[in-house]
Amino acid sequence: MEGAEVLERCRLRWVVDMEEEMARGRFRDLLPLLPEPDQKTVLTFLQPADQHRALLSRLLQRCAVATALGADWASIAIATTRGRKPFTTNTKPPEAPCWNYNGRFVILAADPLRLVGADVAAPRSSRPGGAGRPLAQHLAAFRGQMAESEWALLHGPLAGDEGAQEAGFQRLWSLKESFIKARGDGLGFQPLSRAAFSFPAADPWARTALLRLDGSPHPGWSFELHALPSSHCAAVALGPPAEAVDAWGLFRASLGLGVGLDGPDGGVNGSSTPNGLHAQPEHCTHDWRNGCGSQDSGHGRVPPFEEVAPLVEVTPFEEVEVGDLLRRARAHR
């Protein structure tokens, strides 16, 4: 397989409309496609919508492994880290997926060369009791988690237009969530105001964003912003594998990286672990620091991160239907 084909198969952006899937009425048909422990987990949710979200997110993970790695459905192995982030122990090429759901949509993002985090933010009106809550009250609840520069955007250029103000907040919050999911420390990263986002040319509706971490520019990371239907917003964060936070070390070991010692639990600046598709350490022959995929290993050359990071473009989300994903997964076996 040529390197370009490897990259194409492993770079995924999927979005599923959960309400449409519920209307198809095939929950009981899809549930047996998951391993029995996952089926039990899905059924622990009380509300049908939550059960569907849990089911769809797990199916997307398995479809991503099958599509990217050509794995047989029965052989797909999904594990979770200490931070309950999913990853696969199937073999190379490596890929880091992140799935998220909020409101109406379930999304998955995956990339062959970079840490990836994805988040979808639903509008206030779709949350229980949110429609009747004043926007000012809603924003005040996040006061300690937003940087001063972000507040300046919300209360400056976007002030006076509640719709624009809420959409701007959704974009900023989704960026923060995608960043900590990509790193892997999740809620261990506190406060979220440490990660301050701005937009190229001060355009609050730009499709990319810039990051300042702890007050300093943080190059090497790129961000995608996507407008989804029904006023939902999605963000995808892409960063260097060396910045993975992994208290247990399995994920970093699979990337040829040691376990960081800066965090309170042995992680790098955090205490939990990242999610991602990766091989078991004994199968890892690539060193991400020196160029992942510089060896051919039968998959074709994959360029190192340093070659790819400056060339990042926004990869659009593909609206998918679960039945079609399952057919694709079979086709790649």
Tell me the pLDDT tens digit for each residue of 118-143: 999 999 888 766 666 788 888 988 98
Contacts of 122 (CB under 8 A, 6+ apart): 102, 103, 104, 231, 232
Q: How confident is the model at residue 323 (pLDDT cuts 50, 70, 90)?
A: confident
Q: Is the pLDDT score of 287 beyond 70?
A: no
Secondary structure in 3-state letters for 161-223: CHHHHHHHHHHHHHHHHHHHHHHCCHHHCCCHHHEEEECHHHCCCCCECEEEECCEECCCCEE
Tokens 């933010």 label which residue?
Answer: 121
Per-residue pLDDT, averaged over 250-278, amounts to 42
Over residues 45-65, the pLDDT tens digits come to 999 999 999 999 999 989 988
Tell me if the pTM is above 0.75. yes
Between these two residues, 70 and 95, which has the higher pLDDT value? 70
> In this predicted structure, what is the pLDDT of residue 281?
24
Report residue 304's pLDDT band, with 50, 70 and 90 as the boundaries: very low
Q: Which of 38-42, 70-74, 85-89, 140-144 has the lowest mean pLDDT?
A: 85-89
Give me 86's structure tokens. 């999913």
Instruction: Give pLDDT, residue 215.
Output: 95
Q: Which domains does the chain have, with CATH numbers?
A: 3-132+175-331 (3.90.470.20)
125-139, 159-173, 190-204, 251-265: least confidently modelled range? 251-265
Taking all residues of the chain, what is their mean pLDDT, rounded to a whole number?
Answer: 77
Amino acid at 90: N
Confidence of residue 333 (pLDDT cuts 50, 70, 90): low
Q: Are 196 and 149 in contact (CB under 8 A)?
A: yes
pLDDT at 128: 66
Residue 22 scores a pLDDT above 90: yes
Tokens coding 330:
């079979």
Q: How confident is the model at residue 194 (pLDDT cuts 50, 70, 90)?
A: very high
* Res 305 pLDDT > 60: no
Residue 290 has pLDDT above 70, yes or no: no
DSSP per-residue codes, 22-73: HHHT-HHHHGGGS-HHHHHHHHT--SHHHHHHHHHHHHHHHHHHHHHH---G
pLDDT 10s digits, 234-250:
999 999 988 888 777 77
